[in-house]
């Protein structure tokens, strides 16, 4: 961000001068428009699944690197839904630049000679930024989502430049993609690596779809094992460090002094691995962990943050990921190139993450239609239907 854009964002950030400010208005549109039942959420969900259907209906038999394939498919259908027909990510160079930027993002956080410390990350970010500058050169494209229109209106209200708006949209793309891609990949890996789990989830998904028509709005109620697997993937793979500002001098457990104004980082991975909360098997992946009625405190599960700063896109993320995974489970087989069952790789704990850790290694796989599903074309019912 340039200095002018940062000044706009920082002005009255905490509303100490009154009920106004870019950050305050931005917070309200994201948490409002992405809430369950809101027209924007419903429209975005419907469009996203239509875009996904267009892509998945073209897939019949492909040999590919699983993670790279998930990354590309997720990128295209999610960004098409958000930015419309003139989506910058339709340019392969923008897509490639964005993901190079994402892999080296942590080096740019040093903010020290970025062109040299992380030349690939810097160049990739600029490629994505240039894509959005072109996107906005003639105003807001008519096919953009209502959320994009609302973000631009707030930016203009406070004097944000086109360059500033383009930078902010690179950030929106990060929020849209950098965690949903690894979550999708992990769910596919864990499910297809276990024939028993795969069979059980297929049985669940069969109750909400009829040969290509999936009622996604029934997913949470009628597919409890799939939902539990989603939650367990989040618990097991997310290491999001959540920051909080200390509002007044405090002492914890008569030992730890927290001074007013200090920042406290809370790594969710530590909480998610606490045996006092999750039991003796906390270090193991258990897809059935969330099927029980055992109650845990709200602070025990922090994959999407908590309180007023909880991720506003969590419902949209679930919709996209669950539809993606359920479709692959129902209509496809995924095996290693040699025909063997997938193996679940270890977590890549050496690569910095803004949330969900990636697999240590990806796998070359064959994704093919199941018998009886060769010519099925997918459609999706959502809450907006």
pLDDT 10s digits, 133-172: 999 998 888 899 999 999 999 999 999 999 999 999 999 9
Report strand pairing: 241-245 vs 263-267. antiparallel
- Cα separation, 84 vs 79, in Å, equals 8
Q: What does the pLDDT look like over 27-83, one tens digit per residue? A: 999 999 999 999 999 999 999 999 999 999 999 999 999 999 999 999 999 999 999
Q: Is the pLDDT of residue 302 over 90?
A: no
Q: Which helix (H) or strand (E) element contains residue 150?
A: helix 146-157
Q: Is the pLDDT of residue 116 over 90?
A: no
Contact between 6 and 134 under an 8 Å Cβ cutoff? The reply is no
Q: Is the pLDDT of residue 303 over 60?
A: yes
Q: Is the pLDDT of residue 188 over 70?
A: yes
**What are the distances in angstroms from CA 54 to CA 73, 119, 300?**
11, 35, 38
R_g of the chain computed on alpha carbons: 21
Per-residue pLDDT at 294: 77
Q: Categorize the per-residue pLDDT at 306 as very low, low, confident or very high, splitting at 50, 70 and 90.
A: confident
Closest Cα to residue 63, out of 369, 366, 370?
Answer: 366
Per-residue pLDDT at 384: 53
Q: Is 382 helix (H, G, I), strand (E, B) or coil?
A: coil
- Cα separation, 240 vs 12, in Å, equals 27
Average pLDDT for the chain: 92
Output the CA torsion 366→371→372→374 (10° steps): 30
Q: What does the pLDDT look like over 223-254, one tens digit per residue? A: 999 999 999 999 999 887 778 889 999 998 89
More confident: 12 or 72 = 72
Residue 243's Cβ-count burial label (10 Å; 0-12, 13-18, 19+) is: exposed
For the chain, percent of residues with pLDDT exceeding 90: 71
Q: Is 209 helix (H, G, I), strand (E, B) or coil?
A: strand
Per-residue pLDDT at 115: 80
Contact between 67 and 97 under an 8 Å Cβ cutoff? The reply is no
Arithmetic mean of pLDDT, 196-211:
95
Per-residue pLDDT at 285: 96
Cβ neighbours of 194 (radius 10 Å): 18
DSSP class of residue 257 equals E
Closest Cα to residue 193, out of 323, 379, 343, 295?
Answer: 343
Q: Is 133 helix (H, G, I), strand (E, B) or coil?
A: helix
Per-residue pLDDT at 385: 46
Per-residue pLDDT at 3: 82
- Cα separation, 352 vs 354, in Å, equals 7
Closest Cα to residue 244, out of 299, 296, 318, 314?
Answer: 299
Per-residue pLDDT at 243: 80
Contact between 327 and 378 under an 8 Å Cβ cutoff? The reply is yes
Q: What does the pLDDT look like over 259-293, one tens digit per residue? A: 999 998 888 888 898 899 999 999 999 999 999 87
| pTM for the full predicted model | 0.93
Q: Is the pLDDT of residue 109 over 90?
A: no
Which residue shows structure tokens 């203009």?
A: 156
Per-residue pLDDT at 119: 79
Q: What does the pLDDT look like over 319-377, one tens digit per residue? A: 999 999 999 999 999 999 999 999 999 988 877 677 899 999 889 999 999 999 999 99
Q: Categorize the per-residue pLDDT at 378 as very low, low, confident or very high, splitting at 50, 70 and 90.
A: very high
Closest Cα to residue 47, out of 314, 312, 319?
Answer: 319
Per-residue pLDDT at 222: 96
Residues 6+ apart with CB under 8 A from 291: 224, 225, 228
Contact between 95 and 87 under an 8 Å Cβ cutoff? The reply is no
For the chain, percent of residues with pLDDT exceeding 70: 99
Contact between 77 and 55 under an 8 Å Cβ cutoff? The reply is yes
DSSP β-bridge partners for residue 381: 215
């Amino acid at each position: 961000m340039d200095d002018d854009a940062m000044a706009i964002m920082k002005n009255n950030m905490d509303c100490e001068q009154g009920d106004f400010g870019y950050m305050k208005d931005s917070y309200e549109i994201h948490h409002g428009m992405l809430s369950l039942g809101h027209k924007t959420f419903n429209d975005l969900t419907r469009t996203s699944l239509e875009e996904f259907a267009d892509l998945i209906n073209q897939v019949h038999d492909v040999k590919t690197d699983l993670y790279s394939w998930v990354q590309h498919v997720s990128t295209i259908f999610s960004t098409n839904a958000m930015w419309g027909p003139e989506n910058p990510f339709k340019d392969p160079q923008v897509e490639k630049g964005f993901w190079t930027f994402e892999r080296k993002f942590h080096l740019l956080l040093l903010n020290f000679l970025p062109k040299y410390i992380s030349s690939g990350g810097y160049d990739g970010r600029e490629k994505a930024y240039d894509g959005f500058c072109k996107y906005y050169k003639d105003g807001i494209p008519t096919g953009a989502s209502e959320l994009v229109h609302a973000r631009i209106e707030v930016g203009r209200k406070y004097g944000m430049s086109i360059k500033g708006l383009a930078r902010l949209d690179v950030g929106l793309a990060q929020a849209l993609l950098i965690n949903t891609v690894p979550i999708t990949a992990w769910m596919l890996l864990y499910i297809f690596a276990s024939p028993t789990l795969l069979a059980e989830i297929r049985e669940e998904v069969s109750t909400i779809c009829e040969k290509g028509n999936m009622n996604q709005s029934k997913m949470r109620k009628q597919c409890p094992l799939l939902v539990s697997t989603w939650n367990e993937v989040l618990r097991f793979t997310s290491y999001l460090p959540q920051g909080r500002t200390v509002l007044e001098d405090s002492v914890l457990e008569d030992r730890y002094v927290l001074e007013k104004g200090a920042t406290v980082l809370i790594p969710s991975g530590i909480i998610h691995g606490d045996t006092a909360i999750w039991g003796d098997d906390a270090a193991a992946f258990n897809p059935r962990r969330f099927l029980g009625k055992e109650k845990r405190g709200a602070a025990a599960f922090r994959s999407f943050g908590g309180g007023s700063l909880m991720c506003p896109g969590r419902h949209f993320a679930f919709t996209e990921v669950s539809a993606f995974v359920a479709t692959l489970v129902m209509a496809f087989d995924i095996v290693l190139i040699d025909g063997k069952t997938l193996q679940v790789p270890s977590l890549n704990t050496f690569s910095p993450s803004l949330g969900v850790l990636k697999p240590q290694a990806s796998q070359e796989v064959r994704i093919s239609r199941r018998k009886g599903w060769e010519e099925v074309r997918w459609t999706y019912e959502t809450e907006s239907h």
